[in-house]
Amino acid sequence: MKETEHKNPLCKNVPSLLSSFVDTFVDFTVSGGLFLPNPDPKTSQNVREPTTRLPRVDRLIAIGDLHGDLEKSKQALRLAGLINGSDQWTGGTATVVQIGDVLDRGDDEIKILYLLEKLKREAEKSGGKFITMNGNHEIMNIEADFRYATEMGLKEFEDWANWYCIGNKMKSLCVGLEKPKDLFSGIPLAFKSMAKEYHNGVRARIAALRPDGPIARRFLSENTTVLVVGDSVFVHGGLLKQHVEYGLERINREVRDWINGLMGKSAPGYCKGRHAVVWLRKFSDEEKKCDCSALEHALATIPGVKRMIMGHTIQEKGINAVCDNRAIRIDVGLSRGCYDGLPEVLEINGNSELLVLTANPLYQNKNKVYLAPDSKEGLGLLLPDYEPKQVEVKA
């Protein structure tokens, strides 16, 4: 008897249906109970050009580093009215930019990736956009630098790998489906430099996040690294003139191709080192004066752009700006694995006016226009270098 006759003949007719069912089952299990909406077939091609430039929008929301803290991430999203109590998209036609660093320092990295993917699909159906970016911690993890992974973060990836492999075994029973690849191909069984109890978690993390790994390909390859929306340019660390001259579209395309396994194991040079687009602190370090001259040179090379919005460096005073509002720093260290800061998000309306939405109780029942830059009264006391139009507080 032929080998194929041992297998269920009914399965022969429904390979794609079975594969979809298995994927949904695994997604639901590892995401904490999420069902991902079906993607728009018009925008769900395997490879598409990364988003680099968008026109000005009526409502633009910028969210800083999340670092594996699911609950605080949801607080930030609710603060901006982007999700309801059931974590469903309520942002309408708003455009949202999450500045990167979803990974590391927290225990719910995969769950956040699934939540953001769900919101991307829901936003698209409502006429909105949810764009996620690469931070230095995404780049580090793709290169298997796990210095900032938590013990529970490793466990989350180990659990994901177990369910992913179960799903592959189920698919392998069906005639008509391509035989799944070995998830752990080329990955050592053990690591001499670490405790044995972490080996499985590290192996799973490497398998998931290496170039062309399932998590990297599915979630991170869709990230952008540099983004222009209207008169704002977004980047995790910062942009220098040489980065802009190299080409923003080129940077996004090359990073995407690297994550998809098309450019070797090592990240592009502009993603590594202290002057890299995801590592630069020249415009965000609170302890050092911002290099406004270098900032101006970078902005001058991007037509129509008047401000740079960045994360990466925790701002203990909350969202703030320097260099005449040309450098906006939005990483408030909200993750409990970092600074456990109060959630804040930045809103830019269609008139390019800036609004800080904050959970800081110091601003309860206040919604004031900022005073002149040289004034020491009012809200300027807390955010001394920042002069947006308003601060709004939400519970």
Beta bridge partners of 95: 60, 129
Which among 23, 146, 26, 63 is positioned nearest to 343, based on CA atoms?
A: 63
List strands edge to edge, sheet with 354-358.
129-132, 95-98, 59-63, 344-349, 354-358, 390-393
Active-site residue among 67, 137, 236, 312?
137
130-159: burial string, b at 16+ Cβ within 10 Å, e else? bbbbbbbbbbbbbbeebebbbeebbbbbbe
Q: CB neighbours of 165 closer than 8 A, spacing ≥ 6?
A: 183
User: d(Cα 224, Cα 235) in Å, to the nearest integer?
Assistant: 9
Phi and psi dihedrals of 224, rounded to 5?
-105, 160
Q: Around Cβ 324, how many Cβ atoms within 10 Å?
A: 14
Q: CB neighbours of 287 closer than 8 A, spacing ≥ 6?
A: none
Residue 110 structure tokens = 């995969």
Residue 44 structure tokens = 């769900």
Q: CB neighbours of 74 closer than 8 A, spacing ≥ 6?
A: 83, 87, 115
List strands edge to edge, sheet with 226-229.
53-54, 226-229, 232-235, 307-310, 327-329, 320-322
137 is catalytic: yes
Give the strand pairing for 320-322 and 344-349. Answer: unpaired
Residue 180 structure tokens = 């799944």
Residue showing tokens 């996620």 = 132
- Residue ranges of alpha helices (H) inside 63-198 are 70-79, 109-125, 136-142, 151-172
Q: Which residues have a catalytic role annotated?
A: 137
